[in-house]
Chains A and B, each alone.
Chain A
Amino acid sequence: MSTLLAVRDLTVTFDARPRVARAVDGVSFEVASGETLALVGESGCGKTVTALALLRLLQQPPARIAPASRILFEDADVLAMDGAALRRLRGARMAIVFQEPMTSLNPVLTVGTQIAETVRAHERVTRAAARARAADMLALMGLPDPRRCLRQYPHELSGGMRQRVLLAMALVCRPRLLIADEPTTALDVTIQAQILELLADLRSRLGMAMLLITHNLGIAARIADRVAVMYGGRIVETAPSADLFARPAHPYTAGLLRAAPRLDGPARPTLAIPGTVPPATAWPDGCRFHPRCARVWQRCGTEPPLLDVGPGRAARCWLVADPTGGTP
């Protein structure tokens, strides 16, 4: 598979006087055509800022993208694009859906107008043709009565229907990459299951790649091919989905899996990770997870690089180099 998106050494800082918040700090990853990569982490780990940076949606200032950062999408340098190039990119080649669909939709325009507007922003088609495209897309999203939905306003729809509308709007120009930022977090669990099934179905039907941003390990396991776990503005582990959940290499990943309550298997109490996520203005020295890590040893005072764990796998932990580390 060819590389669709390549992120190299992405660093995003925010001016938080008197300090500087390093929200995303030297993040590198790739997404291949047709692949689904999940970016997993807890609040404050930098996953959403990463997503926003990819589409240049961060307001600068207060955000600042470090000069050494590179975002290559279809071999084009996103960080060097001018306004016109960004307009051709956003919504056409790379699209995004957010957690709370109501705040992404214009409350005073009908659904049909909003989706058709996206089509006409990118393609020279008639109003009628754009509306027809919108209706087709709503049907593809599994809305029972697409023609009626075109005439409805966002407040007339349920949360699940709004998220389907938002997906229709994001996908109507057939982007190569969909960024989905916590797309089901605001939904009830039965509706969440419907939307996850829809996403899995869409990516195979439309052949698009997906970058899924989530805090929910179950959702990542459900639809991702590969997972990158973030902590403290860094990627701490990356692996094919099957390997990550079966044999986590980083103590943080293992800790998250033990902390997540689950319904499969016998009932067992979850094990908490002690402490809290540090603020982005004061990441700990050395390994950023070391103050909360049960397996901390001498080497953790120096931050490890991402170390090779196996085919397609890496973890930012000295235990990879020396699995017996710290234990006599």
Chain B
Amino acid sequence: MSAPLPSTPLVTVEGLVKRFATDRAAGAPLHAVNGVSLTVGRGETLALVGESGSGKTTVARCLVRLVDPDAGAIRFDGVDLATLRGRALRAVRRRIQIVFQDPYGSLNPRMTVGQAVAEPLAIHRLATRREADGRVIALFREVGLDPSYRTCYPHQLSGGQRQRVGIARALAPGPEFLVLDEPVSALDVSVQAQVLVLLRELQQQRGLTYLFIAHDLAVVRQIASRVAVMYLGRIVEEARADLLFAMPRHPYTASLLSAVPVPDPAAPRTRIALTGEPPSPVHPPTGCPLHPRCPHPAKDERCRMELPALRVIGEDRRVACHHAEQAL
């Protein structure tokens, strides 16, 4: 399932940091994203994977500038997004679009879904009012929705249909880069597969680049060319998808993979168990953020003291573990 190697990066993220103030003004801030660097090549799908609180959604929001990072740089097609204002920012925003997990929450309940898809055309002045309806019809067809649905309101559609509307709306301004934030998590299994097929087709036909945010590794395996795994605001492993699924090198990746239940009662159950719960991102552990829960047999004093750097291990892979060379 591996796509061609990443060519020219379309998106480059360097040292991204995002802090949020916690309840008490004097309290320590929450480091949602703590020094994330990644690149997304043209036409590839990079999956950003992690559990709740890992910071994956905050990275997504920084990428579309829904939140502004505290440090670090995001370059899109060579341009630093943080420097853009006004018209220049709007021009880049046309090229970067986002699809949210819950289309019910992201579609205006008082607008028909046809109006919702037409809105970005007006905002970016891409079509006259007369042209817009024809464009909406074409977009509906492209995402597999009968154009007659465009006079419906969001509540009249099923979850799968609403997510197709969300995708059509994101496609309307003709983007090159789509941030997909848990786009199939809220859908039933049979519908989830339909939307994954659609996303793959759209990518091929339009030459799109995807950042696919997800917590479900089985879904990620269906669509990703590369995978980056986040834990407590940092990337702990990044690798070509087939390599990562065949042999995870970070103990957190390994435990995530082994925790996913498999629909086969005869499957061997060798779970690499993390002990306890994820620590608070307000007070992350010293050293390696995973060390209090880590199952690695080689775990030692260094893990408690020293933050492991994300370093190149083998082919097409970076791992932030002092013991990445040793078998789990």
Name A's B-contacting residues (CB within 8 A): 42-43, 144, 158-161, 188-194, 196-197, 215-222, 241-242, 245-246, 255-257, 259-264, 267, 269-274, 276-277
User: B261 contacts which chain A residues (CB < 8 A)?
Assistant: 192-193, 196, 216, 218-219, 221-222
Interface residue from B51, B188, B273 paired with A42 (Cβ < 8 Å): B188
CB of A161 within 8 A of CB of B271, answer no
Nearest chain A CB to B242 CB, angstrom units: 7
Q: Mark B184-219, 1 if CB is under 8 A from A, else 0.
A: 000011111110110010000000000000011111
Per the bound structure, the CA–CA distance linking A259 and B195 in Å amounts to 11
Contact with A along B281-305 (1 / 0, CB 8 A): 0000000000000000000000000
B174 within 8 A of A: no
Give per-residue flags for B150-167: 1 if the beta carbon is below 8 A from chain A beta carbons, else 0: 000000001111000000
With A42-B189, A261-B221, A269-B222 as known contacts, state yes or no: A218 contacts B161, CB within 8 Å.
no
How far is it, in angstroms, between the C-alpha of A272 and the C-alpha of B200 when the chains are bound? 13
Judged by a CB distance under 8 angstroms, whether B66 is at the interface is: no
B51 engages A190 (CB within 8 Å): yes
The winner among A196, A260, A263 for most chain B CB atoms within 10 A is A263
With A190-B51, A241-B265, A260-B263 already in contact, the answer to whether A273 and B257 are too (CB < 8 A) is no
- CB <8 Å contact, B256 and A221: no
- Nearest A residue (CB) for B50: A188
Q: Are A261 and B219 in contact (CB under 8 A)?
A: yes
How distant is the Cα of A150 from the Cα of B271 in the complex, in angstroms? 30
A274–B191 Cα gap in the complex (Å)?
8
List of 10 A-B pairs having minimum Cβ-Cβ separation, nearest first: A218-B261, A272-B193, A273-B190, A193-B259, A188-B51, A217-B263, A42-B188, A261-B218, A272-B194, A259-B193
**Are A161 and B222 closer than 8 Å at their CB atoms?**
no
B-chain residues with CB within 8 Å of residue A216 when the two chains form the complex:
261
Which residues from A are CB-within-8-Å of B269?
222
Instruction: Report the separation of the CA atoms of residues A272 and B189 in the bound assembly, to the nearest whole angstrom.
Output: 8
Are B273 and A193 touching (Cβ within 8 A)? yes
CB distance from B248 to the nearest CB of A (A): 11
Could you list 12 further interchain pairs (A-B, Cβ under 8 angstroms) beyond the known A245-B263, A262-B262? A42-B188, A189-B217, A191-B51, A194-B273, A260-B218, A263-B260, A267-B245, A269-B222, A270-B192, A271-B193, A273-B193, A277-B158
A189 and B215 in contact (CB under 8 A), knowing A42-B188, A263-B257?
yes
**What are 9 A-B pairs with beta-carbon distances under 8 A?**
A190-B274, A221-B265, A222-B265, A259-B193, A269-B197, A270-B222, A272-B193, A272-B196, A273-B194
Chain B residues with CB under 8 Å of A273's CB are 190, 193-194
